[in-house]
Amino acid sequence: MRRLPVLLATVLVLGAAGGGLHVAVQPGWSEVELAQVRSLSLEALPPLPADPSNRVADDPRAAELGRALFFDTRLSANGEVACATCHLPDRQFQDDLPLGHGIGQTGRRTMPIAGMAYAPFLFWDGRKDSLWSQALGPLESAVEHGGDRTQYAHLVAERYATEYEAVFGPLPDLTMLPPHAGPVADPVVAAAWEALPEDRREAVTTVFADMGKAIAAYERTILPSETRFDAWVASDAFPKAGLLSEDEIAGLRLFLGEGECVNCHNGPLLTDNHFHNTGVPAAPGLPEDQGRAAGARLVREDPFNCLGPFSDARPEQCGELRFLAPDGEDLVRAFKPPSLRGVASRAPYMHAGQIGTLDEVLAHYASAPAAPEGHTELRPKALSAEERAQIIAFLGTLEPLTPDVKRLAEAPSRSAALRERSLD
């Protein structure tokens, strides 16, 4: 911890001077405040960052192949689990469950996918540093897809050879390879893998990595869509009430100010894509979870990372990995804040779905309980029930626009009608 006395002094000053100020909606917005609000809107989203570790990241043929793989349940131990089993397209590519269910039950909440191509690290603990290497993890997890590398390579050769070769070039010779072999938990399958000569393992692993690269090319096309908040920021009425109600705007001010939500939920995706210990309770029945402290180690050891043999990047293009904070107190039980776009309809919350409602989430952040391990970054906040409700109201404006509201938002002449609707 750095300079705690200064920190506490600041809190005391704020506590003494700030009481009640935040409740009233101030009519004026400073330029800085307006800039900060705009920085959260979709207009501030930069172009999709390149992924130099994936040479086919922006190849539409790769995306099409990746889309097919994403929905293919043959990529599993029992023929029933695809990526889309947990990442449901009509549910923000997540599953509404506390813990993901594939072949078995995972130890973490399924994350949504929209805008993930902007994240330097993937998973709640950031144990992967690209979308393509992320996609490979569940494929080999016994509780998710439960399959193995030769199984997947055989499937590609049998079902996707033309599409694969158009993107990646000729498939390697897969004859004589066992139907099931790979570095997985199943000892028989793992032994079959160990028995293969090095060059054959490498050929299979290249196909496996390419599958991840195709899936990543597809996932890069899954982007956040416009919300009522974005439409409000772009509207003539901004920053006055209109597409957003007075209560929702009050919630936005709390989000930026007293609530300090913006510390971690900043930028147009409303996440800083870093890792934070917010004292979330351990999930009953699950093993100890070190969060980023484990993820930082795993990503550096991962053969599929940016610096590894299956990456297409030059080492100097791997800045996020090279300069990653490898250890330290800040990492213990730290988890990545998800984007808050769509959060209101995406219960339950936290990395293992420990908290059921946004109201309970806000109560958690206000009370700032001690962390089960490591140190929480939160400090207790005196947020009233009304203020918490206002923040939740603001979060509700981050839902993708319904076609109806979208049409109204796009027609300036009808903005008055929409304003009436939004105040209903």
Partner 1 sequence: MTFPTSRRALLLGLPALLLAAGTAGAAWMMRVPSDLDLSREKATEAGLYMAAVAPVEEPVTVGPMHAWTVTLTDRDGAPLDGARITVDGGMPQHGHGLPTSPAVTQDLGGGRYLIEGMKFNMPGWWELDLSIEGPAGTDSVTFDLVL
Start-to-end C-alpha separation, the chain: 47
Contact 393, 247 (CB under 8 A): yes
Residue whose CB is less far from partner 1, 32 or 176: 32
CB of 204 to partner 1, least distance (A): 34
* Distance of alpha carbon 314 from alpha carbon 20, whole angstroms: 54
Contact 251, 343 (CB under 8 A): no
CB of 44 to partner 1, least distance (A): 10
Residue 409, token pair as written in the block: 């938002």
Run of H or E including 322: helix 319-322
Length of the chain: 424
Residue whose CB is less far from partner 1, 13 or 416: 13
Q: Which residues bind partner 1 (CB under 8 A)?
A: 1-4, 6-7, 10, 13-14, 18, 21-22, 26, 28, 30-33, 35-36, 120, 253-254, 256-258, 260, 262-264, 266-267, 272-274, 319-320, 322-326, 328, 330, 377
Residue 344, token pair as written in the block: 């209101």
Q: Which residues contact 237 (CB under 8 A, 6 or more apart)?
A: 243, 415, 419
* Distance of alpha carbon 291 from alpha carbon 43, whole angstroms: 32
Residue 295, token pair as written in the block: 């993820």
* Distance of alpha carbon 156 from alpha carbon 74, whole angstroms: 10
Contact 126, 157 (CB under 8 A): no
Residue 32, token pair as written in the block: 């800085």
Residue whose CB is less far from partner 1, 144 or 302: 302
Return the closest-CA partner of residue 76 out of 161, 138, 157, 160.
Answer: 138
Give the three-class secondary structure for 399.
coil
Contact 226, 401 (CB under 8 A): yes
